[in-house]
Copies of this chain bind each other. A is one copy, B any other.
Amino acid sequence: MLSKNQLKFVNSLKQKKVRDEHGLFIAEGTKIVKELLKSIIKVKQVFATSDFFREIKVYKTIERIEIKANELERLSALTNPNEVLAVCEIPYYELNENELKDKLTLVLDEIKDPGNLGTIIRIADWFGIETIICSNQTADAFNPKVVQATMGSISRIKLHYFDLVEFFQKHKELPVYGALLEGENIFNKQLSPTGLIVIGNESKGISPDLIPFITHKINIPSFSHFKSGGGEVESLNAAVATAIICSEFRRRLAV
Contact = CB atoms under 8 A, between A and B. Distances in A.
Contact of A128 (B231, B236, B240): B231
Interface in A196-246: 220-229, 231, 233-237, 239-240, 243-244
A27 interface: no
A128 B236 CA distance: 13
Contact of A228 (B130, B233, B247, B248): B130
A224 B151 contact: no
A126 B123 CA distance: 20
A19 interface: no
Contacts of A152: 234
Nearest to A39: B229
Interface in A23-78: none
A110 to B, nearest CB: 17
Nearest to A149: B237
9 contacts: A125-B227, A126-B233, A128-B225, A129-B226, A130-B227, A156-B233, A187-B251, A188-B255, A240-B243
